[in-house]
Amino acid sequence: MARFILSLILVLFVGQVNAQSIVLEPDRVFDGEAIYEGWVVVVDGQRIAAAGPRSSIDVPFGSTHYRLEGMTLSPGFIEGHSHVLLHPYDETSWTDQVLKESRAERAIRAGKHAEITLQAGFTTIRDLGSEGAQYADVGVKMAVRKGVIQGPRMLVAGPAIVATGSYGPKGFHPEVNQPLGAQSADGYDDLIRVTREQIGYGADFIKVYADYRWGPNGEAMPSFSIKELTLIRETAESSGRPLVAHAGTDAGMRRAIMAGVETIEHGDGGSRETFAMMAEHGVVWYPTLAAGEAISSYSGWEKGVDPDPGRITRKKATFKMAMEEGVSIGMGGDVGVYDHGDNAWELELLVEYGMTALEAMRSVTSLNATTFHIEDRGRIAAGLLADLVAVSGDPTQDIMATYDVRFVMKGGEIVRDDS
């Protein structure tokens, strides 16, 4: 009788282990750094149990096998600059989204955007501001975490911080108290209070607008001093959160770098000297190329038909300069300005503007994971989260393969299987 009970326990235990074991057999594996053929990846529960050449892997008996023929298995893509609470400006202008769409509508849209993003192979996103929706991004993150909706893991900024008078919507007389696209703060006490408030309400990092379009003629100009930016950074860091900066002007970028930000978003006006400073200080650049091309197209530019507008010409030159100076460039397209789910557009443009496909793939996986302090993902190795995506073809040779997503796994759960 005792032998029977022992055998039954053993059978139940083995069955439980095997029920959790999945073996993925693609043609090749990109582990976040390099490409390998003949590898398999074993998933047990939410994490990767093993990865490597098939001959070296002890595949659990009774595992479920997925033959991903013709595909490359990669770490789940990490979007470095998104706005789930926005949708394309050629549908509704940014101002009308902030002023005329209810927070409920925007949150519902964000839920749909989250699901579309996950299906596109992006298993983590860094969301760079709710754009007038207060802490709705925190709510969307929690809804995903609780399983209410499907979506990627999210790092969120909340409202972001701007200097009084700098941000929009604008054009109202002083008696109108219109909503703003971010939270205003000024001076020593106020900057500390607002930074702590955003942390308390769920921001994973603090985003500040180091400059904006508030110059005498509407041109972009710096909005905070180095001292103010440093104060925000010190306050954020005391809670274990980094500071990141929107900065499009050279002066705004330099102030942000000197204040100790970890990433700079946009950076259109950066000089060679400033990019050299970024490389020296280890500040990662998110050039948001796709947003620039999208906005130009909304103004009537037809790529491949019309000459490049000045904005695009300058951005290509800036990108080349940054690469020459050794700046680390992350993948983040400012998606929300254009369609969610089209996140791979930024990867396409990173290569078009000068990266190799391999560099772009590192950017959207291991580099972004390291930059965002999420070392439990972004690579394929034993013990890491089983956030994985398979695409048809080899994206380290042809980045366009990232559009052809066939398989997505998040935390060991298969959320898309077109294999």
Query: What's the pLDDT at 3?
Result: 55
| Selection from 358, 343, 328 nearest residue 74 by Cα | 358
Backbone phi and psi for residue 406, each to the nearest 5 degrees, phi listed first: -115, -20
pLDDT at residue 290 tops 50? yes
User: ω before 169 within 30° of 0 (cis)?
Assistant: yes
Mean pLDDT of 254-275: 98
**Which residues, in sequence order, are CB contacts of 332 under 8 Å at separation 6+?**
79, 80, 81, 82, 126, 128, 265, 286, 288, 346, 368
| Selection from 116, 74, 140 nearest residue 335 by Cα | 116
Tell me, yes or no, whether 347 lies in a domain: no
Query: What's the pLDDT at 87?
Result: 98
Does 195 lie in the same domain as 254?
yes
Which structural domain, as residue segments, surrounds residue 236?
Answer: 77-342
Tell me, yes or no, whether 134 lies in a domain: yes
Q: What is the CATH number of the domain that holds 209?
A: 3.20.20.140
Share of the chain above pLDDT 90, in %: 93
Do 349 and 293 meet the contact criterion of CB atoms below 8 Å apart?
Answer: yes
Tell me, yes or no, whether 362 lies in a domain: no
Lowest-confidence pick of 31-45, 71-85, 172-186, 331-345: 172-186
Does 263 lie in the same domain as 200?
yes
CA distance 406 to 119: 9
CA distance 278 to 297: 30
pLDDT at residue 9 tops 90? no
pLDDT at residue 265 tops 50? yes
Do 154 and 124 meet the contact criterion of CB atoms below 8 Å apart?
Answer: yes
**Is the Cα torsion angle 35, 38, 43, 48 positive or negative in sign?**
negative
Tell me, yes or no, whether 374 lies in a domain: no
Mean pLDDT of 71-93: 98
Confidence at 12, pLDDT banded by 50, 70, 90 = very low
Does 134 lie in the same domain as 165?
yes
The encoded tokens of residue 164 equal 């009084």
Burial tier of 287 (Cβ tally within 10 Å: 0-12, 13-18, 19+): buried
Average pLDDT of the chain, as a whole number:
95
Does 168 lie in the same domain as 311?
yes
pLDDT at residue 154 tops 70? yes
Does 109 lie in the same domain as 68?
no
CA angle 295, 297, 303 (to 5 degrees): 130
Does 152 lie in the same domain as 222?
yes
Tell me, yes or no, whether 263 lies in a domain: yes
Count the helices and strands in the chain (H runs, E runs).
13, 19
| Selection from 331, 330, 336 nearest residue 346 by Cα | 331
Question: Per residue in 172-210, pLDDT tens?
Answer: 888 888 889 999 999 999 999 999 999 999 999 999 999
Confidence at 8, pLDDT banded by 50, 70, 90 = very low
Does 159 lie in the same domain as 64?
no
Q: What is the DSSP string of 210-227?
A: SEEE-STTS-EEE-S-HH
**Coarse DSSP helix, strand, coil percentages of the chain, rounded to the nearest 5 percent:** 35, 25, 40
Amino acid letter for position 304: G
Query: What's the pLDDT at 178?
Result: 86
Does 22 lie in the same domain as 141?
no
Share of the chain above pLDDT 70, in %: 95
Query: What's the pLDDT at 26?
Result: 98
Confidence at 19, pLDDT banded by 50, 70, 90 = low
Confidence at 14, pLDDT banded by 50, 70, 90 = very low
Domain boundary among 314, 342, 370: 342
Q: What is the CATH number of the domain that holds 400?
A: 2.30.40.10
Tell me, yes or no, whether 191 lies in a domain: yes
Does 39 lie in the same domain as 114?
no
Tell me, yes or no, whether 116 lies in a domain: yes
Q: How many CB atoms lie within 10 A of CB 145?
A: 12
Does 82 lie in the same domain as 107?
yes
pLDDT at residue 1 tops 70? no
Does 85 lie in the same domain as 56?
no
**Is the Cα torsion angle 144, 232, 330, 46 positive or negative in sign?**
negative
Q: What total number of domains does the chain contain?
A: 2
pLDDT at residue 130 tops 50? yes
Domain boundary among 294, 317, 342: 342
Does 407 lie in the same domain as 337?
no
Query: What's the pLDDT at 211?
Result: 97
Tell me, yes or no, whether 369 lies in a domain: no
